């Protein structure tokens, strides 16, 4: 597709997401990362943002999703986020009181090559003697936050609904570990599932990747890594509002109604800086950034879902369009007026239910 047509198509999708035009779903086929000058660079990037302090983004949000925003104050334009903020927000990395799934699950320590510490994975709903689909899941959290352990109860419901074995990865977080380390964590988990498929009741030809937000970025990066190494086949990638492009907030600014709630451009810069171990958006450095991979040929089919006022709208639609242009099956779902992680924050809303149903249907088809 010609570049002009790509822009025209992206603008159409953006309009559908922001203004509510069309259907809710659109189917188309211990290390310190903050070196001298980093805070100043982030402040400069924030100062160039499109949104002003007085900008009211609420009218762009679907009315049914507005009541759930009470715990999420709007963006503070130009705010500089540091690792002190990360420490404050993290709290306890894995909550021992988080609900556990009623069905079978276990924790496994998986070796990671290169002299790294083993990574913990949680194996959920395994059924030895069966031959079912399998999922490798990566949690979200801006590359900075989150825990696989805290997600087990919800993931168990997903595994039971899809009648599959699910493995979720307690990958190491940034900035203590950059993408080079966490990429090996997730790849080790994928390799473990592939090599132990018979023991956990999985058909090794039906393994899908699943992730939300930064977890979606991890899933996309893992799909690229698996393709490049040629050792483990991946059947499908389910990318839920994935974090794909390090330039957003650093050298690319989105329309001001995007990224006002839940995850902002300023937070995005910190997440990418921590994950990459360098300033985000550098023109000649794209390793570790799935949205900037040179060639998408050979990647697995995908489902990509995102909200119409999510900061990641354009990068997600663009990535899906690149897959389609390469002849790779990809379903792109844009939910009008939806902010980042709306399916979790407003899980009982009709829009969230529709979004989740589309995701689950795509996974069910992929896993067979």
Cβ proximity of 144 and 176 under 8 Å: no
One of 185, 245, 246, 310 is an active-site residue; which one? 310
Helix 313-325, helix 3-19: angle, nearest 10: 140
Residue 62 annotated to the active site? no
Cβ proximity of 10 and 245 under 8 Å: no
Q: Quote the CA–CA distance of 191 and 181 in Å, as a whole number.
A: 15
One of 147, 151, 182, 213 is an active-site residue; which one? 213
Q: Following CA atoms 256, 216, 29, 293 in sequence, which dihedral angle do they give, to the nearest 10 degrees?
A: 90
Residue 310 annotated to the active site? yes
Cβ proximity of 108 and 292 under 8 Å: no
Pairing state of beta strands 302-307 and 165-169? unpaired
Residue 340 annotated to the active site? yes
Half-sphere CA count of 222, side-chain side, radius 13 A: 37
Q: Quote the CA–CA distance of 353 and 19 in Å, as a whole number.
A: 20
One of 340, 343, 349, 358 is an active-site residue; which one? 340
CB-based contacts of 21, cutoff 8 Å, min separation 6: 15, 336
- Minimal CA–CA distance to 170: which of 145, 197, 147? 147
> Known catalytic residues?
213, 310, 340
């Amino acid at each position: 597709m010609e570049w002009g047509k790509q822009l025209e198509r992206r603008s159409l999708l953006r309009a559908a997401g922001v203004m509510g035009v069309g259907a809710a779903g659109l189917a188309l086929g211990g290390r310190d990362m903050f070196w001298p000058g980093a805070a100043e660079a982030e402040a400069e990037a924030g100062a160039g943002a499109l949104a002003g302090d007085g900008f009211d983004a609420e009218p762009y949000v679907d009315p049914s999703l507005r009541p759930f925003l009470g715990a999420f104050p709007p963006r503070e334009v130009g705010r500089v986020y540091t690792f002190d903020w990360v420490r404050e927000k993290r709290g306890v990395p894995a909550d021992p009181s988080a609900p556990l799934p009623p069905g079978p699950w276990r924790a496994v320590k998986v070796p990671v090559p290169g002299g790294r510490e083993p990574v913990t994975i949680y194996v959920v709903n395994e059924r030895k003697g069966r031959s079912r689909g399998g999922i490798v899941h990566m949690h979200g959290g801006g590359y900075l936050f989150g825990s696989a352990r805290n997600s087990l109860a919800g993931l168990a419901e997903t595994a039971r609904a899809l009648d599959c074995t699910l493995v979720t990865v307690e990958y190491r977080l940034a900035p203590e570990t950059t993408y080079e380390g966490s990429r090996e964590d997730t790849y080790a988990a994928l390799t473990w599932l592939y090599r132990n498929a018979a023991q956990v009741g999985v058909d090794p030809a039906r393994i899908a990747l699943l992730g939300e937000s930064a977890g979606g970025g991890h899933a996309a990066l893992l799909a690229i890594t698996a393709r490049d190494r040629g050792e483990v086949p991946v059947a499908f990638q389910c990318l839920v509002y994935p974090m794909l492009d390090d330039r957003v907030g650093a050298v690319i600014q989105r329309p001001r109604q995007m990224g006002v709630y839940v995850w902002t451009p300023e937070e995005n810069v910190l997440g990418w800086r921590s994950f990459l171990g360098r300033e985000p958006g550098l023109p000649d450095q794209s390793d570790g950034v799935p949205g900037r991979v040179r060639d998408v040929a050979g990647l697995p089919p995908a489902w990509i879902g995102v909200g119409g006022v999510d900061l990641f709208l354009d990068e997600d639609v663009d990535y899906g369009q690149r897959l389609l242009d390469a002849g790779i099956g990809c379903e792109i779902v844009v939910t009008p007026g939806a902010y980042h992680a709306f399916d979790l924050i407003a899980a009982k809303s009709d829009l969230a239910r529709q979004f989740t149903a589309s995701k689950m249907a795509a996974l069910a088809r992929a896993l067979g």
